[in-house]
């Protein structure tokens, strides 16, 4: 006695898989936008009308603070402290302007 053949339909699973792949792709694109520095800077300029010079000044001041912090002398420590203060002031101004 042969039993009638069984038919299993997987259409619903295929649709769910496609939806999951689309959601994963959208999530990865969103994460990439948030994590890549060049895109983050681009968003900062595009959405907040930020002054480019102010951002560059802040980045340069932060870099100078890091660079001078390795110095042993009093002048290097002073330059590092002043650079860090300038970077803090610039980034405070940028953060305040976003609201």
Asked if residue 54 lies in contact with residue 93, where contact means CB atoms within 8 angstroms, the answer is yes
**Domain co-membership, 69 together with 79:** yes
Tell me how far CA of residue 96 lies from CA of 1, 43, 91, 93, 99, in angstroms.
Answer: 81, 16, 8, 5, 6
**Domain co-membership, 43 together with 15:** yes
- 63-66 long-range contacts (CB < 8 A, ≥24 apart) are none
Count of the separate structural domains present in the chain: 2
Question: pTM for the complete prediction?
Answer: 0.45
Within 8 A by CB and 6+ apart from 58, the residues are 86, 87, 90, 91, 94
Asked whether residue 34 is assigned to any structural domain, the reply reads yes
**Domain co-membership, 57 together with 98:** yes
**Domain co-membership, 98 together with 68:** yes
pLDDT in tens, 27-45: 888 877 777 666 666 665 6
55 pLDDT higher than 80: no
């Amino acid at each position: 006695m042969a039993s009638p053949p069984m038919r299993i339909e997987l259409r619903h699973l295929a649709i769910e898989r496609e939806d999951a792949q689309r959601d994963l792709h959208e999530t990865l694109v969103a994460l990439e936008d948030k994590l890549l520095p060049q895109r983050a800077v681009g968003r900062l300029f595009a959405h907040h009308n930020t002054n480019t010079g102010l951002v560059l000044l802040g980045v340069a001041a932060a870099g100078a603070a890091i660079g001078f912090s390795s110095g042993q002398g009093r002048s290097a420590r002073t330059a590092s402290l002043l650079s860090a203060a300038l970077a803090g002031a610039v980034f405070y101004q940028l953060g305040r302007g976003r609201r």
